Structure 1
Amino acid sequence: MKLQDKFHLDLSVPHISYAVNDMMKERFKAYHGKLYQQYKRSASHGEPAQSAPPHVNHEDWRILYDRFSSDSFQKRSKINSDNKRKLEVNHVAGSKSFVRLHHDMQDSVTGQEPGPVDFYKGTHC
């Protein structure tokens, strides 16, 4: 509702609704990650759960602190960290997917797509 008050958005249009939801999802993930970093700092220093960031009220921080310290969250976090370390090649193309990059790099005359070596060079060099 706040977005619609400030901007003229028709959220009944599917592509607009999708774009707004996608942007808000990414912002939330980034914010959640920052709060988790704050939790890790406060937990490693032995600070109490009331060491809330200035912009988060103590009741909300207590809920987040309990969630972050739960066994299920810690287990999932460890699995995700291990999987991230296993990546052999990081995605370095910004918002474009590898499929789109592959298509964009095809030869304009022959229509032939690049081979694996040329694709790697085009995205990493």
Structure 2
Amino acid sequence: MKPCVKARQLVLIVVHDHFDLDYTCQKDVRTGVETMMKVHRMHRNRMHAYFKKFPSKEAALLKPHPDTMEKQWKELCDLYTSKAFMKRREQNKKNRSKLTVNHDAGSRSFQRTRACMQQLTKARDEIEARRAAKEKEL
């Protein structure tokens, strides 16, 4: 069994023990899964940042991250130095360098940001129309 599957099962056990969630409710299930995905992504990013501090894979293997076991650290080092990972990393760098506008809305999606901007524009237009009507009355 893969380490990530084992970790996911352990997290589910802890969640079941500490929280009273209704797993027949789709919203609770989605919240749990999204939280686990976010925590996993943050952990993976921390591990990669730690790995990048070392000049080589061999140097990184000598000093595993304190939050991982030696076997897990070796698997992560193998992942970070694999050809597929490196290829994807380079492609992502190229794609990010081509962006003309940086998306700066946090975790809100582009579509949601656009919808919020449209709502603000409508509200602004209504306020201006009311001000104009009020000025005509005076």
TM-score, reference length from structure 1 = 0.75
State the partner residue of 1:116: none
- The structure carrying a bigger helix percent of its residues is 2
Per-residue deviation, 1:22 = 1.2
Separation in structure 1 between the aligned mates of residue 27 and residue 74 of structure 2, nearest angstrom: 37
State the partner residue of 2:78: 66
Separation in structure 2 between the aligned mates of residue 68 and residue 91 of structure 1, nearest angstrom: 26
Match of 1:108 among 123, 126, 133: 123
* More contact order relative to length (CA 8 Å, sep ≥ 6): 2
Map Cα deviations across residues 92-119 of structure 1 (whole Å, 9 max, x no partner): 12232232233233313878xxxxxxxx
Return 95-104 or 34-43, whichever deviates more: 95-104
TM-score, reference length from structure 2 = 0.69
Q: Hey, which bits of structure 1, 4+ residues long, moved more than 6 A?
A: none
Match of 1:57 among 64, 69, 90: 69
When Rg is computed on C-alpha atoms for both structures, the one with the higher figure is: 2
Per-residue deviation, 1:49 = 1.4
Map Cα deviations across residues 10-55 of structure 1 (whole Å, 9 max, x no partner): 1221111112211211221111011111112123596151310112
Match of 1:5 among 8, 14, 17: 17
Alpha carbon RMSD of aligned pairs, Å? 2.2
Q: How many residues align?
A: 111
Unaligned stretches of 5+ in structure 1?
112-125
State the partner residue of 1:119: none
Separation in structure 2 between the aligned mates of residue 32 and residue 48 of structure 1, nearest angstrom: 15
